[in-house]
Chains A and B, each alone.
Chain A
C-alpha cells in the first residue's frame, strides 16, 4: 500500500523555486532517505509534507487522502509525526511531561497518556531520565526525546529531520539501531540526513535532490555510484568519466 504519494510538488518563495516538481512515493514499512547538498530544498520539501508550508503546486496524498495545506495538528491526528532539526523540547518540563503531550493526541485521560508515554520511554531507554528537565538533557538524549514525543502520537509515518546531526559516532550507531528497530516494528520512516554512513545503512531507497530537483532515485548503492550525484556533491570536475 502506498502510504505517501507526492506528485509535482513545487514550492516557490517569491522568485526562488525551493522545490521544483518533486515526485515521491513511499510504501508502508519502508525507510526512504532524502539527501542532497546544503540548500537543496530538503527541509522545504519536508515542511510541505509536515503542513508548515502550503505547497505552491502539486499534490500530497497521505494514506489515500489529499492533505495539501492541512494544519500540522490535523496531520498529526491522521498519523503523521515529525521531529525538528533544531530540537524543540518543552525545556522547563520533565522528559515524561514532554512525551505525555504527544500521548494526549490519542489518549484523553491523564493516566492513559502517562502509561503510553512510559511505554515509549522504556522502548527508547529514556525511562530512567523521566523526571529530568528536558532542558538539562544532552544533545543525544534531546534527539531521542524528539523521537519519543513523535512516537507517542502513534504515527503511521514518521518524518525524521537530521536526527543524527551533532552526534558522536557511537551515538550515531545507537540512533541507527533505534531507527532499524522502529522499522522492524513496521513503522514507515522518511529520513533526511547528512551523515552518509548512516543513511546508506538505513535506507531501502534514496532520493537525491539538488536545487529543488530530483536528480537520482534508487537503492543506496545505485545512488552512491550515480554520476549526477557525485557531481552535485563534489563539483563538475569530479565526474566519473
Chain B
C-alpha cells in the first residue's frame, strides 16, 4: 500500500506530458467519486444513480461564490459540501423506504430534475447560474489560496491527497460500528433491525457523508476544468459512469472502486481520443458489455478473484497475513 502511494506521489516526475497527467487526474477523480459513492451504493446495499447531483451542487456553489463574492473556492467547497449533505438527507428521507430498482429510479428522478432546473434558471435569487451556458472561471489569479494553478501538477497532488483521505476514511468506517451496521442492514434488513440496527438512520448517515465528500470533488472539477455547465457536472452519464466503475470493480469493497476505475477510465479516455468524432459514446457501449460479462461470471465484481490471487501469492511467499474480513 505504502509502495503504491509512493509511486503515485512520484509519478509526475516521470510523466511530463500534460495529456497523460490530465488522464491520471481524471482517473483519481473518478476513483474518489466512486469510493464516496461506495459508502451508500456499496456498504448500505442500495443503488443510488443520481450522485452527479452532488457533484453539481459542489461545483456550482463554490464557483458562484468565488465569481460573485470573491470567496475562496477552498471555503466555498465546504459550503457546497454542507448544501449537498442537506440535499442528500432530504432525498434519503423518503427514498430509503423504497427497495431495489425503485430507489435507483427515484434518485435518477431527483438528479434529472435538478439538472433541468439548473439548465432553465439563469438567476436563482441573487446568484447567477447562467442556465445552459454554464459558468466560466477566468484563470486570472493563480495560486494556492485561489485553488487555481497554471500547471497540472498541483491538481494532481490535490486529488491524490483527497483520494488517499477518502480511502482511509472508508477503511475506518468499514471496520467501525457504522460499517458493520450498514453492511448488515444492506444484506438482511429485518435481521439487522432485530439486532438493534436502525437501518434507515444508518443509511441516512452514510448518505450524508457520501454526498458531502462527493460535493468536494465537484469543486475540484470546477477548478480543474475552469468551466462548468449542467451537462458536464450534473449529467446522468456521470452518475452512470460512477455506478459502472463500482459494479464492475466490486461494490462494498474498498479495492473495488480503485480496480474498476483503473480498468474503465483508460477505456473511456482512449475511446474519446481515437473515436471521439466517429463513435461518440463508444465507451458507454463497452462499459455495458463489460458489465454484462462481469455480472455473469463474477457477480460480486472483479475485486474478488483478484483479492483471492493476491492472498494466495502472499501465502506462498510467506508475507504478512492479509486482512481478510474486508470483503
Q: Is A55 on the interface with B (CB-CB < 8 A)?
A: no
Q: Is B184 on the interface with A (CB-CB < 8 A)?
A: yes
Q: Which residue of B lies closest to A102 (CB)?
A: B195
User: 1/0 per position for A142-156, CB-CB distance to B under 8 A?
Assistant: 000000011011000
Given contact pairs A71-B198, A73-B196, A90 touches B184 in the complex (Cβ within 8 A) = yes
Q: Is A65 on the interface with B (CB-CB < 8 A)?
A: no
Q: Is A211 on the interface with B (CB-CB < 8 A)?
A: no
Given contact pairs A97-B325, A104-B177, A131-B324, A73 touches B187 in the complex (Cβ within 8 A) = no
**Interface size, A (range):** 20 to 34
User: 1/0 per position for A46-71, CB-CB distance to B under 8 A?
Assistant: 00001010000000000000000001
Is B324 within 8 A of A90, CB to CB?
no
Is B195 within 8 A of A105, CB to CB?
yes
Q: Is B180 on the interface with A (CB-CB < 8 A)?
A: yes
Q: Is B98 on the interface with A (CB-CB < 8 A)?
A: no
Q: Is B30 on the interface with A (CB-CB < 8 A)?
A: no
Q: Which residue of B lies closest to A99 (CB)?
A: B195
Q: Is B181 on the interface with A (CB-CB < 8 A)?
A: yes
Chain A residues near B327: list those with CB within 8 A: 92
Given contact pairs A88-B188, A88-B190, A93-B187, A150 touches B195 in the complex (Cβ within 8 A) = yes
Is B197 within 8 A of A101, CB to CB?
yes
> A178 vs B188: C-alpha distance in the bound complex, in angstroms?
26
Q: Is A82 on the interface with B (CB-CB < 8 A)?
A: yes
Chain B residues near A73: list those with CB within 8 A: 193-199
Chain A residues near B199: list those with CB within 8 A: 73
> A152 vs B196: C-alpha distance in the bound complex, in angstroms?
11
> A113 vs B176: C-alpha distance in the bound complex, in angstroms?
10
Instruction: Give the number of residues in B that approach A within 8 Å (Cβ atoms).
Output: 23
Q: Which of B183, B187, B194 contacts A72 (CB 8 A)?
A: B194
Within 21-64 of A, Cβ neighbours of B (below 8 Å) are at: 50, 52
> A190 vs B187: C-alpha distance in the bound complex, in angstroms?
27
Chain A residues near B181: list those with CB within 8 A: 101, 104
Chain B residues near A20: list those with CB within 8 A: none
Q: Is A81 on the interface with B (CB-CB < 8 A)?
A: yes
State how many angstroms separate the Cβ of B185 from the closest Cβ of chain A: 9
Within 83-141 of A, Cβ neighbours of B (below 8 Å) are at: 84, 88-94, 96-97, 100-102, 104-105, 108-110, 113, 131
Q: Is B295 on the interface with A (CB-CB < 8 A)?
A: no
Is A81 within 8 A of B183, CB to CB?
no
State how many angstroms separate the Cβ of B171 from the closest Cβ of chain A: 12
Is A77 within 8 A of B196, CB to CB?
yes
Given contact pairs A90-B188, A108-B177, A113-B177, A76 touches B195 in the complex (Cβ within 8 A) = yes
> A180 vs B193: C-alpha distance in the bound complex, in angstroms?
27
Q: Is B191 on the interface with A (CB-CB < 8 A)?
A: yes
Chain B residues near A92: list those with CB within 8 A: 187, 300, 327
Q: Which residue of B lies closest to A109 (CB)?
A: B177
Chain B residues near A52: list those with CB within 8 A: 190
Within 242-270 of B, Cβ neighbours of A (below 8 Å) are at: none
Q: Which of A77, A110, A149 contacts B176 (CB 8 A)?
A: A110
Chain A residues near B325: list those with CB within 8 A: 94, 96-97
> A131 vs B198: C-alpha distance in the bound complex, in angstroms?
26
Q: Which of A82, A84, A97 contacts B180 (CB 8 A)?
A: A97
> A101 vs B191: C-alpha distance in the bound complex, in angstroms?
10
Is A110 within 8 A of B177, CB to CB?
yes
Q: Which residue of A lies closest to B193 (CB)?
A: A72
Chain A residues near B190: list those with CB within 8 A: 52, 72, 84, 88
> A92 vs B304: C-alpha distance in the bound complex, in angstroms?
12
9 residue pairs of the A-B complex, CB under 8 angstroms, read A52-B190, A73-B195, A88-B190, A90-B184, A90-B188, A90-B192, A97-B180, A97-B183, A113-B180
Q: A73-B195, A97-B325 are in contact. List 13 more A-B contacts (CB 8 A).
A: A72-B193, A73-B196, A76-B193, A84-B194, A89-B191, A90-B188, A90-B191, A93-B183, A93-B184, A101-B197, A104-B177, A109-B177, A149-B191
